Chain A
Amino acid sequence: MAFLEVKNIDVYYGDVQVIFDLSLHVEEGEVVSIIGGNGAGKSTLLKTISGLLHPSRGEVSFEGNAIQAASPDKIVEYGIVQVPEGRRLFTLMTVKDNLVVGGYNSRASQHVDKMIDEVYTLFPRLSERESQLAMTLSGGEQQMVAIGRGIMARPKLLMLDEPSLGLAPLLIKNIFETVRKIADQGTTVLLVEQDVKHSLSLSDRGYVLEHGRVAMEGTAKTLLDDPHIKTAYLGL
């Protein structure tokens, strides 16, 4: 049985169908990328897994539990944690309070102090800024808080929605290195990205989404070598 299994789901935004009969799976310890252009349904897929949206058909299961109808807070308790697109920090709270709130769920709340130390080791920058309002940070620092907040929840599966969005190239490289580090420490990662080259090169496998369907899937290496991906996503 797969760690995370998405089976034949249809998802609607109001009356508009965004995801069509989509299936995918993630195994424990893997790093899996989901790539695709704007409007391909990547963010909708993550929102569905984390319970902000519910599929009208199909199943989502995590460690054998059916979660397609569960509420977001319940899904966090199961161990799936999403770092949302555009960071969505609590802008008028301090960096430290953002991190503390990240560790709100019952699996994490006993370990808040220890996890904060871990986040500060990963992002030393944040310990210097811990009493600053999140609003006052630069884009790169905000992304660090967003990822740190995700780690605080002690995820079994960490889902990152476009962590590179709006960042300078050097910072993007940093963020991806950190994601690799998190994965190496044993967290399963599901990564949604438009930066195909970077995300596939740190992943084990990937899925290509087009118009709400899986257009292609395979190991990261085969996808990187694929002629369609080269022309459509890498511009080669």
Chain B
Amino acid sequence: MNYIIEGLINGILMGSIYGLTALGLTIIFGVLKVINFAHGSLLMVGMYVAYWAVSLSGLHPYLTLVVVVPVMYLFGYYLQDIVIKPIFKAEREVREPITVIIVTTGVWYILDNLTLLVFGPQYRSIQDNPLRGKMLEFGEMLISVPKLWGFFAAIITAGSVYWFLQKTRTGRAIRATSLDRDAASLMGIKQYRVYNIAFGIGTATAGIAGVTLVPFYNVFPTVGVLFDIKGFIIVVLGGLGSIGGAILGGIIIGLIESVGPQFMAATWTEAIVYGLFLLVLFVKPSGLFGVRYDW
């Protein structure tokens, strides 16, 4: 019984971190209507920024958020402004431009290989870090402390992004653009600036995810790919464009991965994840928590 409760708790914790890694994907898709194939690479960049920030400063990993969030926001903002925007402008008449997807794939390869070139292929993990390997003990149950921190980071991040989109002037402009970009520009909203901001926010959340991962996860140039596929499954499960859906989708995957192995061979959990993914696509293509109506 204890094992199951422990599995449930760890599943929820790890799952919310999965959700956090996918949050940027769903934000960027919701506004730009483009699947960002470079999202895993943005997460990887976030992990490297966090890794170096922690290693060089020796601070508690979560204190480096002060550096990581603005750096990643600006990185995303200008990546969209300089690399992706020209393609959008060239394909103005297309609602979901395929060429932009191809460009993001290019960005993925360039970022991963640049990182390989600069930092080499070795696996890195932060030394002397106050969270590494820490466990909370409740009787016989063990709860990972860095994952608990990650859980709170995920909830706070998703909550803040949601609040920002609902209540601020810029947030409303972002929602309006995601629902009807031409109508939004008739309200005086600068469409491409909103795209830059949304991309910046999505990248910043990938940076936050990077900070939550480095205390217990190795950093290497292709680490993003592992989270990429999971991220796609999560946002489809939760509903593309839905912020709460990303976190809940992540938690579903986390639960399957942590509780599943107590009843079957661990490799079977993958089959359940992909099976659920297909089932959702067949039965409710807009996702479990997505909106049936178009944006």
Docked-complex contact B188 and A77, CB < 8 angstroms: yes
A72 within 8 A of B: yes
**Of A71, A92, A104, A106, the contact of B179 (CB 8 Å cutoff):** A92
Our count of residue pairs bridging A and B at CB distance below 8 angstroms stands at 76
Whole-angstrom distance from the CB of B289 to the nearest CB of chain A?
A: 14
Interfacial chain B residues near A51, Cβ < 8 Å: 185
Binding site of B, secondary structure by majority: helix, strand, loop or mixed? helix
Given contacts A97-B172, A101-B173, contact A90 B180 (CB under 8 A): yes
Nearest chain B residue, comparing its CB with the CB of A106: B188
B282 within 8 A of A: no
The proximity string for A residues 3-15 relative to B, scoring 1 for CB distances below 8 Å and 0 otherwise, is 0000000000010
Binding site of A, secondary structure by majority: helix, strand, loop or mixed? loop
Nearest chain A residue, comparing its CB with the CB of B170: A104
Q: How far is the CA of A194 from the CA of B189 in the complex (A)?
A: 29
B229 within 8 A of A: no
Q: Which residues of B contact A (CB under 8 A)?
A: 93, 169, 172-173, 175-176, 179-180, 182-191, 291, 293, 295
A88 within 8 A of B: yes
Given contacts A100-B172, A104-B169, contact A91 B187 (CB under 8 A): no
Number of A interface residues in the complex (CB < 8 A): 30
Docked-complex contact A153 and B183, CB < 8 angstroms: no
Interfacial chain B residues near A100, Cβ < 8 Å: 169, 172
Q: Which residues of A contact B (CB under 8 A)?
A: 14, 50-52, 71-73, 76-77, 81-82, 84, 88-93, 97, 100-102, 104-106, 108-109, 135, 149, 153
Interfacial chain A residues near B184, Cβ < 8 Å: 90, 101
Given contacts A88-B180, A93-B172, contact A105 B291 (CB under 8 A): no
Docked-complex contact B190 and A73, CB < 8 angstroms: yes
Interfacial chain A residues near B189, Cβ < 8 Å: 73, 101, 104
